[in-house]
């Protein structure tokens, strides 16, 4: 990109052509490595007018057709749902949970008109509640707390881990 770098992934169109392109690339990498990839759902801030499917449909079809695993970032589902005005449960209901190998949670930065997946601060209750819904469908998978900046003390990190247990219960 002409020497430019962005903090987050840039959006891509959710079309049949883009899906076929990504599936082919994922398969090629998996063939080369001799192992499945685990793909993470992105947080998103913009959409293409020409999209022909939702992000969750794209991701589900990608995982199935490329025969890959999923890292389900629950915070990214929450961030994108707020940025684009969809119900995060609609997203979760479309995920092939038999392919989920890990769940991620994180803090984010709410700017009122939009949310940025900044990985700063504690996880909010709405994200924990989404984790509880997701984790019931893929119980036993590990949960990763992402906190990339303004790293908290061990005590605060431990408190977040204990908070996770409140929402995923006996599967922790």
Tell whether the model's pLDDT for residue 8 goes beyond 90: no
CB 131 within 8 A of CB 143: yes
Residues 6 or more apart from 62 whose CB is under 8 A from it? Answer: 19, 22, 23, 26, 39, 68
pLDDT of residue 72: 98
User: What's the pLDDT band for 49 if we cut at 50, 70, 90?
Assistant: very high
Q: Who contacts 94 (Cβ-Cβ below 8 Å, separation ≥6)? A: 54, 56, 57, 59, 60
Q: What span, in angstroms and rounded, lies between the C-alpha atoms of 130 and 82?
A: 13
| pLDDT grade for 171, boundaries at 50, 70 and 90 | very low
Name the class of domain 37-49+67-171.
Answer: alpha beta
Rounded Cα distance between 8 and 119, Å, is 11
State the Cα angle at 109 between 120 and 146, rounded to 5°.
30
Contact assessment for residue 62 and residue 99, using Cβ atoms and an 8 Å cutoff: no
Query: Helix or strand or coil: residue 102?
Result: strand
Nearest to 118 by CA among 59, 46, 38, 43: 43
Question: Which has more pLDDT, 4 or 35?
Answer: 35
């Amino acid at each position: 990109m002409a020497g430019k770098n962005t903090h987050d992934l840039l959006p891509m169109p959710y079309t049949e052509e883009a899906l076929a392109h990504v599936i082919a690339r994922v398969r090629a990498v998996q063939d080369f490595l001799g192992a499945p990839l685990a793909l993470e759902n992105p947080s998103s801030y913009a959409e293409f007018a020409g999209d022909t499917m939702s992000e969750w449909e794209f991701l589900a079809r990608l995982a199935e057709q490329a025969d890959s695993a999923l890292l389900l970032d629950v915070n990214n589902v929450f961030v994108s749902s707020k940025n684009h005005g969809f119900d995060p449960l609609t997203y979760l209901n479309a995920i092939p949970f038999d392919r989920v190998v890990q769940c991620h949670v994180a803090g984010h930065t709410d700017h009122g008109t939009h949310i940025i997946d900044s990985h700063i601060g504690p996880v909010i209750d709405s994200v924990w509640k989404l984790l509880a819904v997701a984790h019931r469908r893929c119980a036993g998978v590990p949960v990763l707390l992402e906190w990339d900046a303004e790293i908290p003390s061990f005590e605060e990190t431990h408190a977040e881990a204990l908070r996770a247990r409140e929402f995923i219960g006996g599967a922790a």
